[in-house]
């Protein structure tokens, strides 16, 4: 079954290419090979302010880049979110983007009839989160219990109805061998081919 996929590139540095960019390219290549439709959102290239109050977050004033991103997310069956782990979590620009993106009225509804948690408006979509990091991936997953990744999964993606959410972690990325990097790219290419 072919899918409509949006790849959200969350690396904040747009001055040069990083492993996250190569992984996004590999996923896209695989997805095209599998017959899927793919679109991209490069968070670092979007123009949006930080939200500084609940009133601003709940407001209906959505800037053009965020409105376009919401259209892409609404179109998608599957999201792929890539980012490097910075200080134990996603980079600030990616979190700011998600705060802008997953607003009431687009991502969930607070109608009285929908209960205390609201009604999820992005059901029927799945996600793959790909995280790169300097530490060993198993150390992040087992010692730190992947706390920030779990927060993204439960408190943001599942909260708005996106599920299942699958994860792929790549650790010890600095100074990785060419052969190991190619293994990672092939792994992500295969995920893209299957639309996972």
Domain tally, the chain: 1
DSSP labels for 73-102?
Answer: HHH-SEEEEEEE-BTTB--HHHHHHHHHHS
Split at pLDDT 50, 70, 90, the class of 178 is: very high
Q: How far apart are CA 195 and CA 139, in angstroms?
A: 28
Q: Which domain holds residue 99?
A: 4-194
What is the pLDDT at residue 116? 59
Confidence of residue 171 (pLDDT cuts 50, 70, 90): very high
pLDDT category at 59 given cuts 50, 70, 90 is: confident
Percent of the chain with pLDDT over 90: 86
Q: The domain spanning residue 111 has which CATH number?
A: 3.40.50.360
* C-alpha torsion angle, residues 39, 41, 45, 50 (rounded to 10): 160
Three-class DSSP category at 13: coil
Q: What is the pLDDT of residue 13?
A: 96
- Residue environment code for 77-97, b if the CB has 16+ CB neighbours within 10 A, otherwise e: bbbbbbbbbbeebbbebbbbb
With residue 181 as reference, give the H or E element that holds it: helix 178-194
The separation between CA 131 and the C-alpha centre of its own chain, rounded to angstroms, equals 9
pTM: 0.94
State whether residue 109 is helix, strand or coil.
Answer: strand
Share the mean pLDDT of the chain.
94
Q: Give the tens place of pLDDT for each residue, 76-115.
A: 999 999 999 999 999 999 999 999 999 999 999 876 555 5
Under the banding of pLDDT at 50, 70 and 90, the label for residue 141 is: confident
DSSP-H helix ranges across 7-136: 19-33, 54-58, 64-75, 92-101
pLDDT at position 180, please?
Answer: 97
Look-up of token digits 């407001």: 59
The pLDDT assigned to 136 comes to 93
């Amino acid at each position: 079954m072919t899918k409509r996929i949006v790849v959200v590139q969350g690396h904040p540095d747009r001055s040069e290419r990083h492993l996250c960019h190569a992984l996004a390219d590999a996923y896209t290549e695989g997805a095209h090979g599998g017959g899927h439709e793919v679109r991209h959102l490069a968070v670092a290239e979007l123009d949006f302010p930080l939200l500084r109050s609940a009133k601003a977050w709940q407001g209906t004033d959505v800037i053009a880049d965020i409105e376009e991103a919401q259209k892409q997310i609404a179109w998608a069956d599957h999201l792929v979110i890539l980012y490097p782990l910075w200080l134990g979590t996603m980079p600030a620009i990616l979190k700011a983007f998600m705060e802008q993106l997953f607003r009431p009225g687009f991502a969930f509804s607070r109608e009285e009839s929908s209960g205390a948690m609201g009604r999820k408006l992005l059901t029927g979509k799945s996600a793959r989160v790909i995280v790169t990091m300097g530490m060993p991936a198993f150390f992040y997953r087992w010692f730190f219990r992947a706390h920030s990744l779990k927060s993204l999964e439960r408190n943001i993606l599942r909260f708005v109805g996106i599920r299942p959410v699958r994860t792929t972690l790549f650790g010890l990325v600095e100074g990785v061998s060419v052969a190991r990097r190619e293994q990672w790219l092939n792994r992500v290419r295969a995920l893209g081919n299957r639309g996972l």
